[in-house]
Structure 1
Amino acid sequence: MADLSITAANVIASASAARLDGKAGEAIAAGKAVYLDTTSDRWMLADSNSAPPEARRAGGIALNAAALNQPLAVHKSGDITIGATLTPGIAYYLSDTPGGICPVADIGAGEYVCLIGFAKSASVLSVAVQFPGVAL
């Protein structure tokens, strides 16, 4: 398998989802996993094998596309229609592609494990980010 192929226009948060608003620190597409860079106070693309440790822990999923310094809404937790085809019951994790989300089977050696959530259906991901701080 590979990273989810997300159709950005189909990324929709549920009514009960927790979200934050901020600014993008780089170009970000809807549906990408992001983290908050504490130095710049901007949202950046998360990456499971990134050199900066804070980039390995996703803070949520971008709900809209944003260019550098533009407003960005971030889905922190709860259900999201992710705009991709999921396998119900499967855990999805941060991938080693910046902003990517992959199934558990695609986590490779040397990657830091960051659970994004579990698929509730073929289109809905229940987001509950967990980061134990360990690499495979």
Structure 2
Amino acid sequence: MTDLVITAASVLPASNAERDQGIAGETIVAGKAVYLAATTNRWMLADSNAAGAEARQAKAIALNGASAGQPIAIQKSGDITIGATLTAGTAYYLSDTPGGICPLADVGTGEYVVLIGLAKSTTALALQFSYPGVAL
């Protein structure tokens, strides 16, 4: 699987970003896809082949790095400069690397399809999280 190579310092929300804050449940780097764990109310790295459905449902992108127990800012919707080189017009999905983002061609058999967003340019991603609950 070929995930986007994200430069954490280059991850920036656009003016139309819906942002929120919370507490990290594990070490998270800016630009990674995350979900909110119901039992702990902490943000965790999402994973397309996780055993539990909750962990497969990416809900946001981390805007800063944080260790477990530290504050984290996340972006739920809107445009984001993801800090990686994108292909304009390409849809990007959650990968089987925790928090990773990749094009559909790199989502493998047995992984769940989780849309993260569509590239508006070579740097901007329009976030559109969607989890239909279907594995390839």
In structure 2, how many angstroms separate the alpha carbons of the residues matched to 1:63 and 1:134?
28
In structure 1, how many angstroms separate the alpha carbons of the residues matched to 2:57 and 2:30?
18
Please name the residue that 1:54 is paired with: 54
CA offset at residue 20 of structure 1? Answer: 1.3
Q: TM-score, normalised by structure 2?
A: 0.98
What is the number of equivalent residue pairs in this alignment?
136
Identity level (%): 65
CA offset at residue 7 of structure 1? Answer: 0.1
Q: Show CA shifts across 1:36-71 (max 9, x none).
A: 000000000000000121000101100000011101
In structure 2, how many angstroms separate the alpha carbons of the residues matched to 1:13 and 1:113?
24
Question: What is the alpha-carbon root mean square deviation over aligned residues?
Answer: 0.7
In structure 2, how many angstroms separate the alpha carbons of the residues matched to 1:79 and 1:16?
6
Please name the residue that 1:96 is paired with: 96
Structure 2 unaligned runs (5+)?
none
Partner letter of residue 87 of structure 1?
Answer: T
In structure 1, how many angstroms separate the alpha carbons of the residues matched to 2:14 and 2:121?
14
Please name the residue that 1:110 is paired with: 110
Is 1:6 aligned with 2:6?
yes
In structure 2, how many angstroms separate the alpha carbons of the residues matched to 1:86 and 1:72?
25
Aligned runs of 1:1-136 on 2, under 5 Å? 2-136=2-136
Q: TM-score, normalised by structure 1?
A: 0.98
In structure 2, how many angstroms separate the alpha carbons of the residues matched to 1:80 and 1:13?
5
Q: Show CA shifts across 1:74-121 (max 9, x none).
A: 110010000000000000000000000001110111001100000000
Structure 1 unaligned runs (5+)?
none
CA offset at residue 14 of structure 1? Answer: 0.5
